Amino acid sequence: MIDSISEIKVKDMDGEIIPLSSYKDKVLLIVNVASRCGFTPQYKGLQMLYDTYKDKGFEILGFPCNDFGKQEPGTNDEIKQFCSSNYNVTFKIFDKIKILGAGKEPLYQLLTDNNITGHSEVKWNFEKFLISRDGKIKARFRSWVRPTGKKITSSIEKELDKEFH
C-alpha cells in the first residue's frame, strides 16, 4: 500500500502531469474546491493561509470537483478565471477530478482510506488534508473547519516547525 502522496501523479489545469514528489520538503494542504458552494468563500481564507505561510515552505493544492451537488460545472479555464477574479487565488489549482465512486483519483483513494485520517469518503466540498514535508498524511479537516481557524493554523505551524530529513 502507498503510504506517501509522493508516489502519486496528478494533472494540472493545462494537462501537464505533475508528480507530487515535486512538492517534497513542502507542507501541503490539499483541498477539493468548487465555485458554487456555500463553502466557496473559504477561497479567501485559503488565500490568506497561503500568503501567510508560503515563504516558510507551505503550499495549497486545490482540486476542483463536481461530485457534490454539481457545484463545480465549469471548465478548467472558467474555474481559473473564477478563482482569479473573485478571490485573487495564487495557489495552485489542478485539473478537475472525481473523488467519489468510479474513476476516483488515486490521490483521494489514499487521502480517504488510511490509518491517520480514517476510512471514509469526503463528505462535501472544501474538505482539507494536511501533508507533512515527507508526503505523509497528518490530518483531515472537514468542510466546516475554517482555513484560518486555530485548528488548521496550529497544525500547519507544527508541521512547518519540523525539520525534514
* Three-state DSSP class for residue 92: strand
Domain extents in the chain: 5-161
Residue among 135, 123, 131, 119 nearest 155 (CA): 131
Residue of 28, 30, 33, 37 marked catalytic? 37
Band of residue 121 on the pLDDT scale cut at 50, 70, 90: very high
Average pLDDT, the chain: 94
**Phi, psi angle pair for 158, to nearest 5°:** -60, -45
pLDDT for 2: 66
What was the pLDDT predicted at 162? 86
- In this predicted structure, the answer to whether residue 16 has a pLDDT above a threshold of 80 is yes
Domain 5-161 in CATH 3.30.1330.10:
no
What integer pLDDT is reported at residue 130 of this predicted model? 98
- Over range 60-76, report the average pLDDT: 96
Q: Flag whether pLDDT at 82 surpasses 70.
A: yes
Longest dimension (CA), the chain: 42
Residue 1 has pLDDT above 60, yes or no: no
Read off the pTM. 0.96
SS3 71: coil
Q: Catalytic residue at 37? A: yes
